[in-house]
Amino acid sequence: MKTPALARKLLLLLLLCVALPAGLGSAAEPGPGFGSAALLHGLWTPAELVGTEADRVIGPVTAPDLSLPPDFPADLSPDLLASLTLPPVPPELRGVIRRIHVRGGRKVAALTFDLCERANNVAGYDNRIINLLRARGVKATFFAGGKWMRSHPEKAMQLMADLRFELGSHTWTHGNLALMDAAEIRAQMQPTQVQYALLRQELARRAEQRGLGAQMAQVPRALPFMRLPYGRSSALALEELAQSGYPAIQWDVEGERDEEVHSPASIARTDLALIRPGSIVLMHANAVPEKTFEVLTRVLSGLQRRGYELVTVGELLRLGRPEAVADGYFSEPGDNLQYDAIFPGKGTLKPDPTRPYTTVPVP
């Protein structure tokens, strides 16, 4: 008779090595020990990758953390330092990209997960979401805040090492770029890129120690695009981002809309009704929305039944023509303007609990 501990270990292994379902990932992709999976499974045990409930702990901090990594850390290698400078965004990728008009109507979509963390709170890491994506062989894109990556270095490196996933920037502390000047925008963007580079350098060090240094060639040297917190932008912000090399990736499906009042089944039905070829779906993996895991489980099953293939944002951008707007929004134009007044510190702080709300704040 198996002991509970042994049964749990077997379950962890099964969860990480389960076969891919048709229609969501590519069955030709290698498993543990080969290609893209070698780095991930060579640096962490199955139990370390699966994580625990403690990963999902969230809460306030005693005082806002306004510290930043050094602009140019002395221990950052020259090649990684060079990676902090990206070429300007080409004209066809400017604006706030909501979805892609896919050539030939191919049934592809991109699932995206924000990893937000403001200066006065610590967000979590919903290990259940990442476990589910890995178990089903699903590709996904994570937009990580710089402070979140610093608070969760192991989890950030695990995402970096899993080449079915890709990372983009979500600013340092969820700054509302529509309210910021050029210097403030750069102060949200550059430290986030520096934090990614520092973690990549640590990942490379560990890979070399395990004889996996060659695998690092598959890990991007920089965050190639970004997501606007609150979906908010301005002409100044878009120009600054474009000149700094960051396409702004929004969404056309708000995957957790009104989760406070709707069941996971209801939210998933709405999502599935809205997803179309070329859609970019917004969700969160920072353990703040409470129903994302249950919603995602249903959405993945529904997309599989409909014959959809899930790709990363980077792959989706290569499959057609972007549909872009001048300012982002959640589901309807202007529905995010209210957050300018709700979140102080130009979006970088959670409001004081005693401060009255005019609406339910976004996570």
* CA-to-CA separations, 41 to 158, 197, 208, 252, 324, in angstroms, rounded: 9, 21, 14, 34, 38
In this structure, which amino acid lies at residue 320? G
The per-residue pLDDT for 59 is: 85
- Sequence ranges of the domains in the chain: 93-342
- Spell out the CATH class of 93-342: alpha beta
Give the predicted TM-score (pTM) of the model. 0.88
The CA distance from 123 to 229, in Å, is 15
The CA distance from 266 to 184, in Å, is 40
Return the structure tokens found at 99.
């979805």
Return the structure tokens found at 60.
């306030």
In this structure, which amino acid lies at residue 341? A
Instruction: List the beta bridge partners of residue 112.
Output: 141, 282
* CA-to-CA separations, 192 to 74, 118, 135, 197, 250, in angstroms, rounded: 17, 13, 29, 9, 18
Yes or no: say if 358 and 341 are a contact pair by the CB < 8 Å rule.
yes
Q: Which residue has the tokens 């912000």?
A: 237
| Parts of the chain with a pLDDT under 70 | 1-23, 25-36, 70-76, 80, 352-363
The per-residue pLDDT for 25 is: 64
C-beta atoms surrounding 344 within 10 Å: 14
- DSSP annotation of 212 reads -
Q: What is the pLDDT of residues 278-323, one digit of tens each?
A: 999 999 999 999 999 999 999 999 999 999 999 999 999 999 999 9
Q: What is the pLDDT of residues 207-249, one digit of tens each?
A: 999 999 999 999 999 999 999 999 999 999 999 999 999 999 9
Yes or no: say if 111 and 247 are a contact pair by the CB < 8 Å rule.
no
- The count of C-alpha atoms lying within 13 angstroms of the C-alpha of 115, restricted to the half-sphere facing its C-beta, is 32
